[in-house]
Amino acid sequence: MNSGFRNAFLTGSGAMSADATYLILIFFGLTAFLNNPLMKIVLGFAGSVILIYLGIVSGKVFFRPPDNTVSAPPRLFKSSFATGYVLAIASPLTIVWWTGVFGALLASQPAATTLSALFSCFSILLGCFAWVLDLAIALHFGRQFINQKITGLISLIAGIFLIGFGLYFMYRTTTLLIH
């Protein structure tokens, strides 16, 4: 929100590109590879660490002393697009979503409906694009109504949820090691 429309749109576009990457890879059979127990463990721990790190960075915004300028928290990458891409590609939730939902959808369709599967992919990406554009516009215009204190509170709440998801996925991944 602090960085404006361009960075919000680029971050969302990066995440959408990660979604497209998963769609393409799943379309060509990645689901079996990602369901490998070792890959689940590696991706689970990596995604958990990223979510916890982002939660800590986000939560720190709340505890910064107030000033007259609104500055963005430190960034993982300089490029907003790269940040969105890496966050989405490494997120355990994204992996579970695309392999579980879309992978199952593709697996349930007969081979003769490849065109239908491609149409589904493009429809999903079009919906993602509409979401990214709408969210970037809402953030751009919404920031004039939200002050630094509210932004800090939103960052704290988001940080708590990110840490919570990170710990949850870390726990789930640890249970894979035990079994």
Q: What is the pLDDT of residues 117-145, one digit of tens each?
A: 777 778 888 988 998 999 889 888 887 78
Handedness of CA 175, 21, 25, 113 (dihedral sign): positive
User: In percent, how much of the chain has pLDDT > 70?
Assistant: 81
Residue whose token pair is 């999903």: 124
Range with the largest mean pLDDT of 16-30, 85-99, 149-163: 149-163
Q: In the prediction, which pLDDT does 124 show?
A: 82
DSSP 79: -
Mention every residue, 6+ apart, whose C-beta is less than 8 A from residue 99: 22, 26, 30, 31, 34, 35
Task: Over range 24-33, report the average pLDDT.
Answer: 73
Q: Report residue 61 CA to chain centroid gap.
A: 20
User: How far apart (Å, rounded) are the C-alpha atoms in residues 147 and 150?
Assistant: 5
Q: In the prediction, which pLDDT does 57 show?
A: 87
Mean pLDDT score of the chain:
80
Of residues 98, 84, 86, the one with CA closest to residue 34? 98
- Please check the confidence at residue 16 and state whether its pLDDT lies above 60: yes
DSSP 67: -
User: How far apart (Å, rounded) are the C-alpha atoms in residues 95 and 35?
Assistant: 10
Task: Over range 49-62, report the average pLDDT.
Answer: 86
Q: In the prediction, which pLDDT does 110 show?
A: 60
Evaluate whether 51 touches 169 at the Cβ level (below 8 Å): yes
